[in-house]
Structure formats: C-alpha cells, structure tokens
Amino acid sequence: MRADPRDEDTPVFAISVAARMAGMHPQTLRQYDRLGLVCPGRTRGRGRRYSVRDVATLREIQRLSHEEGVNLAGIKQILELAEEVRTLRRQVLALRDLLDPGGRVFAASPSGDVEAVRPKTRPRPGAVVPWIPRQLTHIRLRRDP
C-alpha cells in the first residue's frame, strides 16, 4: 500500500528540492539531519526524502536561527517541546471523546475485553457490539402473574 502523496507527513521531496523550498543549501539539511533537528524519510538506497511537514520545520529552524537568534541546541529543544504539545493535545482530544457522556459506545473485543468506541466510527474487526433495535427499546415486557 502506497502512502497518500497529499499527506503532509509523506516523504516525497529529494534533498535538492526540499533545500530549494526551504531556501537552504542541501548540506545544511544534511547537517540538520545529523543533529536530529529534522529526520527525513529514507529511500531503499538510503537517500533522504522530505515531507511537507519537514520543509515547514526547516523554514521554522531558519526563522528561529536568523530572526530570533536562537542557537541550534535551543531550536532542537523548541521543536521537541512543540511536538510534545501536539502529542498532548491529541491525547486530550481522545480523552474528551471518551468522557463525552452522550457519545460513549462500548464493544467487546475478540479477547473479551470491553473497549470504548469513538462515536460515528466502527469498532475493530472481530469486536462484538450489542445491538438493540429501536422498536424493541420502547416495548415494555409483560409480567405473567
């Protein structure tokens, strides 16, 4: 299965193209890769491939370095903290979805564990989801005396 070329994380640009897009020399990109500031994808032949997100990161590195006067060690910390913030925001959104009392749906996994399913999504294949038809939810059961 091939990655979607429109995805901002898909590595598609060769180093020369990414360098031109970021306004840098290709050797600068190699140095940033060695320092761990930007970690491009690799081809089978070990050639670097940069994504749209990587190019945006390169531009941000250049802005922080030239306009703000931040050194590369500081830039690395800024980038790491920004990624941590993105991760934490995703986790908060996922937890909010789970805590939404109106949208909680549960399913039984194939192993028998109960797991929450996000509203308007399908559970994992093999999960068992209880189904009660709407018309049966309004019927009262008659008790025999």
Helical packing angle, 26-35 and 52-66, nearest 10°: 90
Residues 115 and 90 in one domain: no
Tens-place pLDDT, residues 5-26: 568 889 999 999 999 999 999 9
Q: What is the pLDDT of residue 134?
A: 52
Comparison of pLDDT for 15 and 125, the residue scoring more: 15
Q: How many domains does the chain have?
A: 2
Shared domain check, 76 and 23? yes
Q: Within this chain, do residues 21 and 33 fall inside the same structural domain, yes or no?
A: yes
26 shares a domain with 67: yes
17 and 83 share a domain?
Answer: yes
Question: Are 22 and 75 in a shared domain?
Answer: yes
Are both 48 and 109 inside the same structural domain? no
Rg for the chain (alpha carbons), in Å?
25
For 53-112, how does the pLDDT look when each residue is reduced to its tens digit (9 = 90+)?
999 999 999 999 999 999 999 999 999 999 999 999 999 988 887 776 555 667 777 777
Residues 77 and 130 in one domain: no
Q: The domain containing residue 51 runs over which residues?
A: 13-99
Give the C-alpha separation, 16 to 26, whole Å. 6
How far is Cα 19 from Cα 39, in angstroms, rounded to an integer?
A: 14
Q: How confident is the model at residue 139 (pLDDT cuts 50, 70, 90)?
A: very low
**8 falls within a domain:** no
> For residue 71, is it within any domain?
yes
Does 75 share its domain with 112? no
Q: Is the pTM here over 0.75, yes or no? A: no
Tokens of 84: 């941590």
